[in-house]
Amino acid sequence: MTTIYVRPGEGRHNPMIDGDHIAKAAVQDACGAFEVFEIVAHAAPMSPPHVSPWSGVLFLLEGRITALVDGTPYDVEPGGLVVFPAGTSATFGVVGDSARFVTVTSGDGAGRFFADFAGSVPVDRPAEDSMAAILAVTSRHGVALADARIDRPWSKD
């Protein structure tokens, strides 16, 4: 492994329906692999709860979010942290105008998923209008929607 330095504003941008997932680093060494992302999210309906094959840690820098993990809501303020265990239903929603947070994921699959999703699912259309594309991307990466009904029972609106 070598040292990685990423300047503010740098990284691969993956605009998705729940925010811009900016890839900052992918690390693999003798102990395993992890990826680091900066997420910039704006107020929007909560994305469908999904189950990922990787674990994730969310550390909130700015704004407020509600994290929904295995059906339990967590009100997260700046400096707060939530762990999303692999294989657990999870999503988040922005409370207010926007939020910015760092996410660290185990393994090396989240970055490929984010890039595929950003290239396959339009960000300017509601999730229910893009459900076929969403399901195609999630199936390619071992991610499953916890509730794929189109009536969006997870949304607050």
pTM of the complete model: 0.88
Closest CA to 130 of 155, 152, 98: 152
Does an H or E element contain 89, and which?
Answer: strand 89-106
At 92 the pLDDT is: 95
Per-residue pLDDT reduced to its tens digit, 115-132: 999 999 998 887 788 889
Residue count of the chain: 157
Q: Domain residues of the chain, as ranges?
A: 18-145
CA-CA distance, 99 to 39, in Å (whole number)? Answer: 8
Per-residue pLDDT reduced to its tens digit, 46-98: 888 999 999 999 999 999 999 999 999 999 999 999 999 999 999 999 999 99
User: Would you say domain 18-145 falls under CATH 2.60.120.10?
Assistant: yes
CA-CA distance, 75 to 29, in Å (whole number)? Answer: 34
The stretch 127-145 carries a mean pLDDT of 91
Does an H or E element contain 83, and which?
Answer: strand 81-84
